[in-house]
Every structure is written in C-alpha cells, then in structure tokens.
Amino acid sequence: MISIEGLSKIFRLNQKQITAVDNLDLTIQDGEIFGVIGYSGAGKSTLIRLLNRLEEPTSGKITIGEQEITALSKDKLRVARQNIGMIFQHFNLLWSRTVSENIAFPLEIAGVSVEEREKRVNELIDLVGLSGRENAYPSQLSGGQKQRVGIARALANNPKVLLCDEATSALDPETTNSILDLLVDINERLGLTIILITHEMHVIRKICNRVAVMENGKIVEKGEVLDVFLKPKQPVTKKFVEQVMGNQDGDLEQLLVDHTTGELVRLHFVGESANQALISNISKEFNIEVNILQGKITQTKLGAYGTLIVQINGEQNEVKNTIHFIKEKTSVEVEVLAHA
Ligand SMILES: Nc1ncnc2c1ncn2[C@@H]1O[C@H](COP(=O)(O)OP(=O)(O)OP(=O)(O)O)[C@@H](O)[C@H]1O
Ligand SMILES: [Mg+2]
C-alpha cells in the first residue's frame, strides 16, 4: 500500500510562493492501476516526483509498503528507489547508448554482475516486445518503441511500483493503445502497482481501476473509474468525462421540448448490464413502445457503462409498470426526466 498524508510542496520563485501540492491525502492499494488526472499546472508531475523524492516535500509523509520514504536518508533512498520505476513523456533515454545498454543502465548502478545483467536485459527486451532491436540507438526507434525501452529500463530492478508521468502523451492514438496494453500486461503479470498521471480521460477509462482528479494541488474527487464516469460531481471532472462521452445532456432541453408524450427517462447502465437486452426485454414484456433518443455506452476496465435517454410511450399504467420493473428487477438505474 502507498499512503500519502498531508503532503505539500511549495516552490519559492523570486518572492513568490507556488503551492504545487497542497496538503494532499491519498491511499493507493497494492496491484492497482491508479490514475491521476488534471489540467496543466494542477500539480500532477510534482505529486508523482514527490513519491520517489525527485522533489523534496515541504511537509507530509509518504509510505510505500513498510518504508516511510519521507524519513529515509539519501543512501537508504537510493536503495528504496530501486523499488520505484518511473517512465516519462519524453522517454529520457540515453542517446549514445543502444536499447540494451539503456536497459542495462539501472542494473549497472545497482551493481548487478555482467552475466546477470545480460540475462535480465534479454528478459526485459522480450517482455516489452523489442526483440531484434537490441542494438538500435534511440534515434533509430519510433516513439512507441522508445517508450518500450523506457518501460523496460524502469522495470529492470523488479520494482514494486511504476510511476508514469504522461507516458503516452507524445504518442499517436494507436501507439498509445499498444503502450497502455503493455502496462496492463505488466500490471497483471508482475502484480506491480502503477500510478499514472495524464490529462487524457480515455487513458483513465482504458486501464485504470481508480482515479483521482487533481486541481490546484488538491484532489477534488476520487473513486472507482466507473463511478466517476457515471456520476462526476465536480465541474472539472464533468469536463474530463465529456472528453470521452461528449456532453450527454447537451440536447436535453431540446429533447424535453420535442418529446411531450409518454415518459422521458434516463437509464444508467453500469457494468455487464450495459447492453440492449433491457430495451428488447421491456418491449416484449410490456405493451409499450421505446424510442432511444440519445446516449452513449462505452467500455471501461470493469465493464461497460453509459446512459441512454429513452421515451416510453403507452398506456399510463403500463408505462408505470415498465419503470417499476426496471427499477426493481434490473441493475439499470432509472431517472425520470419528464412525463406527460
Ligand atoms: N521547479 C519548480 N519551480 C517553481 N515552480 C514549479 C516548479 N515545478 C513546478 N512548478 C509549478 O507548480 C505547479 C504545478 O506544476 P506541475 O508540473 O506539477 O503541473 P502538472 O499538473 O504536471 O502540469 P502539466 O500537465 O502541464 O505537466 C505549476 O504552477 C508550476 O509552475
Ligand atoms: Mg506534468
């Protein structure tokens, strides 16, 4: 478990103070992929750099596993950092070294013997899918391949935690997906905890278990990805969800004007219930007509979720029974928006 208590970082620039991380508390479970999302300047990079003390905290306490990171001497910190890998947006590779030599670098620093180094480098090259490119230089690789080198290097010393600072922000969508797949694969195979920061909600949607939304150095909202997508509370969170889902209620007022008969309801689908079976079931079971007016269903790590706005037309009692049925007999949440 990673526990962060009362963590603050204040930068002093000339006469000014900038509070990049502001009295932040957070707990991250072992083995989870935890996302931190926020706009530029929110303090994400500072937060992640505090975790391995690339940045020294102004105050607060960080514990990773049994170890209180914030209490370690410089020497002990150097050893502790072998348990914390990190990857970066711009890869931070050594340009005069080959793929193999880049990956071997942290092993050299850790004092691993030549033979062991060679063995480990080969394993890592295999793991990240770079076989055949061992002797290439970073300048001869694509962005996705460079990030694979970055990931292999970060994993060299078998860390328990992997920190990812905008690891896919410099990559095109397809390459982003392949790197995200690799992170999930590593998370599952090695059981390591991944903390990932990003300003892209689709990255969170695709691979994270939980997410925290950061604004002005604070976490303003956090929870299971599915819950946050379904019921974003803060304005900033709603904006991030809109990145993926569009503005769900954008046309709601118009829908209410245009559809004055029957019952207008919003259906929230969560997890495995997110399919069309419900619509066909109620159409068969009840003497009603269902019009799908608007909505979007998408996939997250924990299953599909989304909302549909539908109009249910029919005899009043039948419509009432239909809504009762959905509420009582399914896991779909119903919200009545208007009824004639
Ligand atoms: N070394 C530094 N000295 C002074 N101020 C800093 C320093 N590093 C970061 N800051 C300030 O701290 C705040 C948070 O910066 P940080 O880099 O953590 O944001 P971020 O969320 O990672 O943004 P981005 O999405 O643009 O990477 C910003 O106001 C930034 O200007
Ligand atoms: Mg940053």
Percent of the chain with pLDDT over 70: 97
pLDDT tens-digit series, residues 77-125: 999 999 999 999 999 999 999 999 999 999 999 999 999 999 999 999 9
d(CA 109, CA 181): 29
Domain 2-243 CATH assignment equals 3.40.50.300: yes
Q: What average pLDDT does this structure show over 42-65?
A: 97
Between the CA of 138 and the centroid of ligand 1 the distance, in Å, is 27
The model carries a pTM of 0.84
Residue 216, phi-psi category: left (phi > 0), alpha (psi -120 to 50), beta (remainder): left
The whole-number pLDDT of residue 258 equals: 82
Tell me the CA–centroid distance for residue 329 and ligand 1, in Å: 49
User: What is the longest distance spanned by two Cα atoms in the chain?
Assistant: 80
* pLDDT digit string, tens, across residues 272-321: 655 557 888 899 999 999 998 888 888 777 777 788 889 999 999 999 99
**Which tokens is 318 given?**
């039948």
Which residue do the tokens 């996705």 mark?
Answer: 144
Model confidence over 175-185: pLDDT tens digits? 999 999 999 99
pLDDT at 127 over 60: yes
From edge to edge, which strands make up the β-sheet containing 333-339?
288-300, 303-314, 263-270, 333-339
Q: What is the mean pLDDT of residues 187-196?
A: 96
Q: Which residues contact 7 (CB under 8 A, 6 or more apart)?
A: 21, 23, 24, 25, 26, 47, 50, 57, 59, 60, 61, 62
The CA distance from 21 to 9, in Å, is: 5
Atom of ligand 1 nearest to the CA of 39: 25
What is 248-338's CATH number?
3.30.70.260
- List, in order, residues 6 or more apart from 162 with CB less than 8 Å away: 84, 85, 86, 87, 154, 155, 183, 186, 192, 193, 194, 195
As a 3-state breakdown, the chain gives helix, strand, coil percent values, each rounded to 5, of 40, 30, 30
- Looking at the chain, the domain(s) classified CATH 3.40.50.300 span 2-243
Give me the percent of the chain exceeding a pLDDT of 90.
Answer: 76
Q: What is the location of CATH 3.30.70.260 in the chain?
A: 248-338
Tell me phi and psi for residue 4, to 5 degrees: -120, 125
Q: Is 90 exceeded by the pLDDT of residue 168?
A: yes
Ligand 1 atom index nearest CA of 13: 4
Q: How much is the pLDDT for 275? A: 59
C-beta atoms surrounding 166 within 10 Å = 19
Residues having CB within 6 Å of any atom of ligand 1? 11, 13, 18, 20, 38, 40-46, 199
What is the distance in A from the centroid of ligand 1 to the CA of 42?
Answer: 7
For 56, the token pair is: 């020294």
